[in-house]
Copies of this chain bind each other. A is one copy, B any other.
Amino acid sequence: MNHDSPKIPQATAKRLPLYYRFIQNLHSSGKQRVSSAELSEAVKVDSATIRRDFSYFGALGKKGYGYNVSYLLSFFRKTLDQDEITNVALIGVGNLGTAFLNYNFMKNNNTKIQIAFDVDEEKVGTVIGDVPIYHLDELEERLDLKEVPVAILTVPSSAAQGITDRLAEAQIKGILNFTPARLNVPPTIRVHHIDLAVELQSLVYFLKNYPDASDEKSE
Chain A contact residues, CB within 8 Å of chain B: 1-2, 5, 7, 10, 13-14, 16-18, 21-22, 42-44, 80-81, 86, 88, 94-96, 98-100, 102-103, 105, 107-111, 149-150, 152, 173-174, 176, 180, 182, 187-214, 216, 219
27 contacts between A and B (CB under 8 A): A1-B208, A17-B198, A17-B202, A21-B198, A42-B182, A44-B182, A80-B205, A81-B208, A95-B102, A96-B99, A99-B99, A100-B196, A103-B197, A109-B197, A111-B201, A152-B200, A174-B203, A174-B204, A176-B200, A187-B212, A188-B213, A189-B213, A190-B203, A190-B207, A192-B199, A192-B202, A194-B196
A13 contacts B203, C-beta separation under 8 Å: no
**Residues of B contacting A216 with CB < 8 Å?**
10
Closest to A101 in B: B95
A203/B176 contact (C-beta < 8 A), A102-B95, A208-B2 known: yes
Q: What 7 new A-B contacts, CB under 8 Å, besides A13-B209, A191-B219? A: A1-B209, A17-B197, A95-B98, A96-B99, A105-B197, A188-B213, A194-B199
A150 contacts B105, C-beta separation under 8 Å: no
CA distance A5 to B181 in the complex (A): 29
**Residues of B contacting A199 with CB < 8 Å?**
176, 192, 194
CA distance A154 to B136 in the complex (A): 28
A206 contacts B174, C-beta separation under 8 Å: yes
B1 contacts A201, C-beta separation under 8 Å: no
B201 contacts A213, C-beta separation under 8 Å: no
Residue from the list B80, B150, B198, B204 in contact with A86, Cβ < 8 A: B204
Closest CB of chain B to A213's CB: distance in Å? 4
CA distance A191 to B102 in the complex (A): 25
**Residues of B contacting A21 with CB < 8 Å?**
180, 198
Closest CB of chain B to A186's CB: distance in Å? 8
CA distance A80 to B44 in the complex (A): 27
B99 contacts A94, C-beta separation under 8 Å: yes
Residue from the list B88, B109, B205 in contact with A13, Cβ < 8 A: B205
